[in-house]
């Protein structure tokens, strides 16, 4: 697959403990994106963060959190990303989903 030029970056911010159908939500999202043929997805685990409830989650030893922040990034053509949004709507109960325009310089399989 070749992807160059204007594309979309989809970012999904969730918690590490969020689940979908018995598995971690981040894993379910990545596997579904792959199944639907999106160009690629990456999961990042955060050290510290807070969201809509303003509860701070941190990886500090003294304040060990069971729900660290997780961000998933998916880049692909706009049409494919937009087609994936309704799927996400059925998977993400709490979190933040953002979409932005990006320029792909190089992507080759």
Tens of each residue's pLDDT in the chain, 109 residues: 667 789 999 999 999 999 999 999 999 999 999 999 999 999 999 877 777 777 776 766 555 556 789 999 999 999 999 999 999 999 999 999 999 999 998 876 6
- In this prediction, residue 64 carries a pLDDT of 57
- In this prediction, residue 15 carries a pLDDT of 92
Q: Does domain 5-104 have CATH number 3.30.70.120?
A: yes
Locate 8 and state its tokens: 């979309």
- In this prediction, residue 48 carries a pLDDT of 75
- The whole-angstrom separation of Cα 9 and Cα 21 is 26
- The whole-angstrom separation of Cα 77 and Cα 6 is 8
Domain coordinates in residue numbering, the chain: 5-104
């Amino acid at each position: 697959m070749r992807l160059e030029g204007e594309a979309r970056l989809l970012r999904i911010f969730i918690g590490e403990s969020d689940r979908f159908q018995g598995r971690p939500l981040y894993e379910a999202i990545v596997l579904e994106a792959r199944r639907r043929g999106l160009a690629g997805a990456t999961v990042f685990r955060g050290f510290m963060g807070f969201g809509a409830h303003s509860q701070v989650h941190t990886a500090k030893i003294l304040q060990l959190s069971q729900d660290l922040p997780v961000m998933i990034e998916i880049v692909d053509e706009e049409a494919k990303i937009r087609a994936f949004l309704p799927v996400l709507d059925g998977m993400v109960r709490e979190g933040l989903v953002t979409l932005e325009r990006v320029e792909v310089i190089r992507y080759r399989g």
